[in-house]
Amino acid sequence: MAETKLVWNQENIKDVAESVGIEKLNEESVKVLSQEVEYRVGQVIIEAMRFMHAGKRTTLGTQDISQALKVLDVEPLYGYESTRPLRFGEASLGPGQPLFYIEDEEVDFEKLINAPLPKVPRDVSFTAHWLAVEGVQPSIPQNPTTAEARANELVPRGPGANQTLAALAGNDNVTFKPLVKHVLSRELVLFFEKIKSALLDDGQDPEVIVLRKSALESVRSDTGLHQLVPYFVQFVAEKVTHSLKNLFVLQQMMELTQAITENKTLFIEPYIASLVPPILTCLLGRTLGADGLDNLKEQYQLRDLAASLIGHISNKYSKSSGELQARLARTCLKYFLDPTRSLAEHYGAINGITLIGGSAAILTLVLPNLKPFEYVLAKAQNERGANDESLRMLIGVIMKGIMSITEMPTLLTNGMNGNAAEGQEVEEYLGATIGSRVAALGNHKLNKAILDSREKH
């Protein structure tokens, strides 16, 4: 049987024995003590490595050893803590027996006494300041100046210019890595992958459909998913950007966004700015899905879902983001007033205005511009015909927005039957196409509200 080779130097055992008065120690005792020392040192190292891994570090420190000794019920007298590097000296006890020791620093008492006293530290105090007010940073010392902010925007983003920015951008050929890393548990990573695969499976089997609905319901109701919110937002933005010709993927991304916003346990206010652009793309996009009448119904269903999402986000998060509702309304109004846009884009714009601002937005933004918009309706009617499906959908969404005016709680006018003169005024104000349809309703309450809004604007 081969003899076990010891790592620990047996001469150290003899030196320690001589230091406590034991001059002669037989070889067997030295061997047993060496084995015991190796076992104890290995035990301390294993415990210390547990503390190192718990602290998510890769370098073993003196504090890890001290904690390990405490766990093993040993007095922790290991390690040195100093702000300056230690200087080790070497002394020779004989041939081949070096002894290392820590050199003590010599301090000149005269210099120490005459050295200036350190500055008195400031008392602990707490102050508060606004980082931003209504999306605008105030000019205070705590906030960066305009010049500094502009300089940060102009910093080169290349991997050779700034290693920190390059590392954050995902470049692998950098020598510097950010200290903070977003770590997801295996369970969350597996959950995210399962959700993605279930939503992107366009199979029509009953099991596949049930799996898609279950995935959306899980996102809508499960707790503990907050770490996945930025990944869901990025996933939605990426799929909408690269799948504009695939109605199924766009529909699934909107339903996923709806599920995220309906989950009461998720805090998504910081991600609203990144969540809105994909929704606006599905609401105001020129071409969604493949061309042809076969997909027309699905396209308008997608726009309706996107409009409902924009309205929900606008109403829910307008308090935390003061300018959100106004920006969304301005974007939809810009599309509505552009005569070069397609009928589908106009449909999404008017639908968005209705759900963002309600009947008040219809009165102030849509009605005053309906008579100039008559040009778009007349042109489409001449080119496509009065029975064109897109034209009918556009007129229908305009009428739907106008009918919502009667739901305003401030309208107290009674009566349902309008006279001919009143209808003629409405038609003159709104244009022939829309005005004639509104006048044909004979709703005095609606006509009165429209004519009153004309006087205000």
The residue type found at 54 is A
Contact 406, 446 (CB under 8 A): yes
Last residue of one domain, picked from the residues 77, 94, 115: 77
Tell me whether residue 89 is in a domain: no
Binning pLDDT at 50, 70 and 90, where does residue 122 land? Answer: confident
Last residue of one domain, picked from the residues 43, 77, 111: 77
Q: How far apart are CA 444 and CA 438, in angstroms?
A: 10
**CATH number for position 280:** 1.25.40.770
Range of the domain at 451: 232-456
Binning pLDDT at 50, 70 and 90, where does residue 182 land? Answer: low
Contact 352, 283 (CB under 8 A): yes
Question: How far, rounded to the nearest angstrom, does the alpha carbon of residue 19 sit from its chain's CA centroid?
Answer: 65
The string of pLDDT tens digits covering residues 219-241 is: 999 888 888 898 999 999 999 98
Tell me whether residue 130 is in a domain: no
DSSP line for 228-265: GHHHHHHHHHHHHHH-TT-HHHHHHHHHHHHHHHH-TT
Six-digit token string for 335: 């599309």
373-401 b/e (C-beta count within 10 Å ≥ 16 → b): beebbeebeeeeeeeeebbebbbebbeeb
Q: How far apart are CA 54 and CA 49, in angstroms?
A: 8
Ranges of H-type helices in 101-205: 109-114, 146-153, 163-168, 186-199
Tell me whether residue 368 is in a domain: yes
Q: How far apart are CA 336 and CA 257, in angstroms?
A: 25
Question: How far, rounded to the nearest angstrom, does the alpha carbon of residue 80 sit from its chain's CA centroid?
Answer: 43
The string of pLDDT tens digits covering residues 310-339 is: 999 988 887 777 788 888 989 999 998 888
90-92-96 Cα angle (round to 5): 115
Q: How many structural domains are present in the chain?
A: 2
The string of pLDDT tens digits covering residues 436-445 is: 888 888 778 8
**CATH number for position 35:** 1.10.20.10
- Dihedral angle at the C-alpha atoms of 425, 428, 433, 434, nearest 10 degrees? -50
Tell me whether residue 21 is in a domain: yes
The string of pLDDT tens digits covering residues 51-92 is: 999 988 888 888 888 888 888 888 766 555 555 666 777 777
The string of pLDDT tens digits covering residues 129-181 is: 777 776 677 777 777 666 655 545 544 444 444 444 444 444 444 444 444 45
Tell me whether residue 212 is in a domain: no
The pLDDT value given to residue 285: 87
Q: Tell me how far apart the 2 most distant CA atoms of the chain are, in Å.
A: 127
Tell me whether residue 201 is in a domain: no
Contact 275, 254 (CB under 8 A): no
How many C-beta atoms lie closer than 10 Å to residue 194's C-beta?
A: 13
Tell me whether residue 188 is in a domain: no
The pLDDT value given to residue 77: 65
Count CA atoms closer than 13 A to 159's CA, side-chain side: 10
DSSP line for 382-406: HHH-TT-HHHHHHHHHHHHHHHGGG
Ranges of H-type helices in 55-156: 62-71, 109-114, 146-153
25-26-27 Cα angle (round to 5): 120
Count CA atoms closer than 13 A to 233's CA, side-chain side: 19
Last residue of one domain, picked from the residues 31, 56, 77: 77
- The yes-or-no verdict on residue 299 having pLDDT over 60 is yes
The pLDDT value given to residue 389: 85
